[in-house]
Chain A
Amino acid sequence: MNRPLLASLVVFCFVLLALERPAAAYLDPGTGSMVFQVVVAALLTGLFAIRTFWSRVRLAAVSLFRRRRRDDERQ
């Protein structure tokens, strides 16, 4: 992770700190862990979206290819 990214992450953490409200969980989820994961997940979402998109494209391509081949075999 490069320096500007790390810096923006820390700033983001401070911003989030101002938005706290009590957590409702029977185990202490830990304030740091809760705040931190929101930041991390926000950063991960883009990557995950691209991954999900590509795996769907790949799946669609594979199934299209298979269908074509089946059709060819039938003919």
Chain B
Amino acid sequence: MSASSSLPAPLTGKAEGHEASFRDPCGRVFRRNGVLYREVTARYRADWDQLVESGLLASLHADGSLIAHDEADPSLALGAEAVRVLAPEEVPFVSYPYEWSFGQLKEAALLTLAVHRRALKHGMVLKDASAYNVQFLRGRPVFIDTLSFERWKEGTPWVAYRQFCQHFLAPLALAATTDVRALSFSRVHLDGLPLDLASSLLPWKTRLRPGLLTHVHLHARAQRRHSGAPAKTTSARMSAFALEALADDLERLVASLSWEPSGTTWADYYNDTNYSPEAFEAKQRLVASFIDEVKPKRVWDLGANNGRFSRLATERGAFTVAFDGDPAAVEQNWREVRKGSETLLLPLVLDLANPSAGGGWEGTERDSIFERGPADLVLALALVHHLAIGNNVPLERVARFLSRIGTTLVVEWVPKEDSQVQRLLAGREDVFDRYDSVTFEAAFASHFDTVRREPIPGSGRVLHLLRRRGEG
């Protein structure tokens, strides 16, 4: 945050602009020598001065609402029009709104409004209310776009009102009143859910809620009425007090939207497995010893459920992303993170059968899951049978997928006799002649070397610690 950090040698190494940073001419994010920078252009100079001199920047940094940065040597800049270069703190894992649970999106929405209201108090306004400007750091949402603030021009409305409603309000309202799976719609609608779509999907009763009637239904109608008209604003003035009133109303509305995770497939999973308490303890001890052996910095736990095994990694100091396909499990895990003020765990929604692909302009604006790895260690516990039998993926393809996302792997072999596998096979034809331990080990041997192989006492299952070919 200070302006007097030690500076890297200027103008060395190739610089590469960030694929998602091209819309705002006030600055650009890029990498040089692997270090992340954000340059500020001359166009933003007056806004920057106000950001600093009004005390807004210091205030947002003081409580961690805005990502911290150091000032770097301006000669490191990517473009000629840059006037200063910032070196922001990097988040350990970039996540996207379509991977967040309800609670995570709601917290991101409330942070965005709080940041906007703070800006109003300092004579500025949040010009960009994109959900992609929020990331999760040390178990909390943090606003990452330092250049999203502009001086408020007396009398002008909030330019990011539409964006806020599309990125946050519409998906939250749909999730809270219709179905939580609506959160995944933002994977298709990268600029937020169109309000006319949200309005037509929301149940009729939402028209009886003044907030949703106003900010979604009537807002959508107003947009339709003006569609095709050139982008204009009105000369009817909007006072700072009115801006504050609007933000306050949105804040109350978002705070009133809630969703309770229930009926999750996995809620009782740990109480309903093949494991005796002794076997379960033995599995935990083995996984812990594997983590101790690998000493990973970044762990991905696939099918993490409520994050019990993820926490074996975070307790050992590793930053861990706990992926699960079930939004209820992820929500419960996120609530645990918040309750315990945990700083190293990030629960995210991910369907392994259809993991986040690249998206946006040229398909490179948002990174696929593969581009955000590899992890030092991937945990694939009680998972392979879901992929191989639940989803008909051949073991060879399971092994290849896992080799693409991690350099070491803990994978649990679950034999066909296991009651969990039998449950998956119930009511369908067993076409899985090649689902056996020999095929399993051969499939993984073509991508990994075995470091350890440990049967879990009291169960037919086997834990494998594997290292990707060519690693360490």
Contact = CB atoms under 8 A, between A and B. Distances in A.
Contacts of B236: 16, 19, 38
A7 interface: no
A41 B218 CA distance: 13
Interface in B131-150: none
Contact of B159 (A17, A29, A49): A29
A35 B226 contact: yes
Interface string B236-267: 10110111111011000000000000000000
Interface size class of A (residues with CB under 8 A): 20 to 34
Contacts of B80: none
A16 B241 CA distance: 19
Interface string A27-67: 11111111111101110110111010000000000000000
Given A34-B157, A38-B157, A21 B232 contact: yes
Contacts of B158: 37
B178 interface: no
B238 A38 contact: yes
Interface of A, secondary structure class, is helix
Contacts of B127: 25-27
B29 to A, nearest CB: 15
B305 interface: no
A19 to B, nearest CB: 4
Contacts of A27: 23, 127-128, 159-160, 163
B245 A23 contact: no
B161 A37 contact: yes
A36 B242 CA distance: 13
B250 to A, nearest CB: 10
A48 B162 contact: no
A36 B222 contact: yes
B245 A19 contact: no
Residue from B25, B215, B236, B244 whose CB has the most chain A CB atoms within 10 Å: B236
B249 A31 contact: no
A20 B162 CA distance: 18
Contacts of A42: 238, 242
B225 A32 contact: yes
Contacts of B229: 31
A13 B242 CA distance: 17
B245 A20 contact: no
Contact of A38 (B128, B234, B241): B234
Given A20-B235, A31-B230, A38-B238, 15 more contacts: A9-B218, A22-B232, A25-B127, A29-B157, A31-B229, A31-B232, A31-B233, A32-B222, A32-B226, A36-B218, A37-B161, A40-B219, A44-B242, A45-B242, A48-B249
Interface of B: 23-26, 127-128, 153, 157-163, 165, 210, 213-215, 218-219, 222-227, 229-236, 238-239, 241-246, 248-249
Interface of A: 1, 9, 13, 16-17, 19-38, 40-42, 44-45, 47-49, 51
